[in-house]
Structure 1
Amino acid sequence: MRKKLFIAAILAVTMSVPLFVGCGANNENKKYVIATDAKYAPFSFEEDGKYKGIDVEVLDAVAKEEGFEYELKPMDFDGIIPGLTSNQLDGAIAGISMTDERKKSLDFSEPYFEAGLSIITNANNTAINGESDLQGKKASLKKGTAGAKFAEDNKDKYGLQLNYFSDSPSMFQAVENGNADFALEDYPVIAYKIKVDTSSKLKIAGNKVTKADYGFAVNKGQNADLLKKFNEGLKKIKDNGKYDEIVKQYLSK
Structure 2
Amino acid sequence: MKRKRILALIAAMAFAMLALAGCGGNPNASSSASGSGAKVLKVGSSIDFAPFEFQDEGQKDYQGFDMDLIRAIGKEMGYEVEIQNLGFDGLIPALQAKNVDAVISGMTINDDRKANVLFSEPYYQSGLTMVVREDEEGIKTFNDLKGKKVAVQIGTTSAEAVKKLGGVEVKELNTPADCFMELKGKGVDAVVNDRPVNDYFIHKSGTTGVKQLEERLTSEDYGIAIAKDNAELQKKIDEALKKVKESGEYDKIFAKWFGEKK
CA distance in 1, matches of 2:96, 2:204: 35
**Aligned-pair CA distance for 1:225:** 3.1
Alignment correspondent of 1:217? 225
Alignment correspondent of 2:240? 233
CA distances 1:93-137 after superposition (whole Å, capped 9, x unpaired): 111111111110010111111112579624xx9xx8442659xxx
CA distance in 1, matches of 2:46, 2:106: 8
Structure 1 contact 96–216 (Cα < 8 Å) conserved: yes
Structure 1 contact 43–53 (Cα < 8 Å) conserved: yes
2:105 to 94, 110, 128: 94
CA distance in 2, matches of 1:249, 1:97: 22
**Aligned-pair CA distance for 1:190:** 5.7
Instruction: Choose between structure 1 and 2 for higher RCO, CA contacts under 8 A separated by at least 6 residues.
Output: 1
* Structure with higher helix content: 1
Structure 1 contact 41–193 (Cα < 8 Å) conserved: no
How do residues 77-116 of structure 1 correspond to structure 2 at under 5 angstroms?
77-116=88-127
**Structure 2: segments with no counterpart, 5+ residues:** 1-31, 130-150, 165-173, 176-192, 207-214
CA distance in 1, matches of 2:81, 2:194: 27
Distance 1:36 1:61, change over 3 A: same
Match status 1:243 vs 2:250: yes
Is the partner of 2:245 in helix, strand or coil?
helix
Alignment correspondent of 2:182? none
Match status 1:51 vs 2:58: no
Alignment correspondent of 2:87? 76
CA distances 1:46-80 after superposition (whole Å, capped 9, x unpaired): 12322111111111111111101231112221221
CA distance in 2, matches of 1:132, 1:64: 42
How do residues 1-253 of structure 1 correspond to structure 2 at under 5 angstroms?
30-47=39-56, 48-49=58-59, 50-116=61-127, 121-122=153-154, 129-131=159-161, 133=163, 186-189=194-197, 191-193=199-201, 196=204, 210-222=218-230, 224-252=231-259, 253=261
Distance 1:213 1:132, change over 3 A: closer
CA distance in 1, matches of 2:84, 2:71: 13
Give TM-score scaled by structure 2 length: 0.55
Is the partner of 1:51 in helix, strand or coil?
coil
Distance 1:51 1:117, change over 3 A: same
Distance 1:195 1:239, change over 3 A: closer
Distance 1:238 1:26, change over 3 A: closer
Give TM-score scaled by structure 1 length: 0.57
RMSD: 3.3
Based on CA coordinates, which of the two structures has the bigger radius of gyration?
Answer: 1
Alignment correspondent of 2:187? none
**Percent of pairs with identical residues:** 35
